[in-house]
Amino acid sequence: MQNTTQREIEIALAISDMYQLLAMSLHLPTREFVKGLLDGSVAEDIQAILEEIGFGHEKAEQLAASLKSLPEQKKPLEEMLAELRQEYTRLFTHPKEPEISVYETLFRYNPEVDEVKPSLFISPAALDAERCYKKAGLILSKEVNEPADHIATEMEFMMFLYLQKAKALQEDNRQEVERREGEIKEFYEVHLQKWAKEFYDRCVESNHSEVYKALGEVGSMFVEAMLAD
């Protein structure tokens, strides 16, 4: 029984780490993140996490392969940072027409079906996401002036929930474990299953960067596995 619980803790922490990594990759690239890409540590972390949660060595290595090749390019950090920020803007935050919306509300918006284009901060998806965060005890930073249904925020929420689940397992608090598992299930059903995998699939299809293509492949496979669990 003890070994089973320890394994559950390790898996919950690994899943939390992957959600944290995915969240980081969906913000404007920082020097720290690019440094991790160039020194190979991001690729190593991805492979280790995927193996920990049961993807198998060969599959995990395959998903991390493109990112593992980045150090071989010996590209200067500032050059890579500029390239990734330019691609990030084109993909997600272009002021006129981003390739892919990072907001659940706009990603799921269909002008042929929906009569009115929804307002970001007060859309049903954003308001419900905020409700879920508050119910779970996650307080968003006041410095982050983004709608609650930003893909990175939703990833950070899952990171938080799995971390809380791991803590509850460590404390052998079954009631708290069940609470966190219920919150995870609810958020998957109400939010992530409706757009997260498709979002990452679009990242694979729509980018001009091997980095975002690789991260999209990792995100798609990971989210699909989580939804099927």
CATH of the domain at 36: 1.10.3480.10
> pLDDT > 70: what percent of the chain?
94
pLDDT digits (tens, 9 = 90+) for 109-121: 876 666 667 777 7
pLDDT digits (tens, 9 = 90+) for 2-46: 666 899 999 999 999 999 999 999 999 999 999 999 999 999 999
Rounded mean pLDDT, 58-87: 93
Rounded Cα distance between 45 and 78, Å, is 22
Copy the structure tokens of residue 60.
């995990």
Rg of the chain in Å (alpha carbons): 18
Q: Tell me the CB-side half-sphere exposure of residue 15, using CA atoms within 13 A.
A: 26
Beta bridge partners of 103: 150
Copy the structure tokens of residue 45.
């972390």
Question: Which range of residues forms the domain containing residue 207?
Answer: 2-228
> How high is the pLDDT of residue 1?
45
Q: Residue length, the chain?
A: 229
Q: Which of 185, 149, 178, 148 is nearest to 164 (CA)?
A: 178
User: Per-residue pLDDT for 159 more than 50?
Assistant: yes
Which residues have a Cβ under 8 Å from the Cβ of 124 and sit 6 or more positions away?
105, 118
Rounded Cα distance between 91 and 210, Å, is 13
Copy the structure tokens of residue 173.
């608090």
Rounded Cα distance between 146 and 73, Å, is 35
- Number of domains present in the structure of the chain: 1
Rounded mean pLDDT, 176-199: 97
- What is the CB neighbour count within 10 angstroms for residue 162? 24
Rounded mean pLDDT, 125-153: 90
User: Per-residue pLDDT for 169 more than 80?
Assistant: yes
> How high is the pLDDT of residue 118?
72
Rounded Cα distance between 100 and 5, Å, is 40
Rounded mean pLDDT, 122-147: 89
> pLDDT > 90: what percent of the chain?
80
Rounded mean pLDDT, 220-225: 96
Rounded mean pLDDT, 154-162: 98
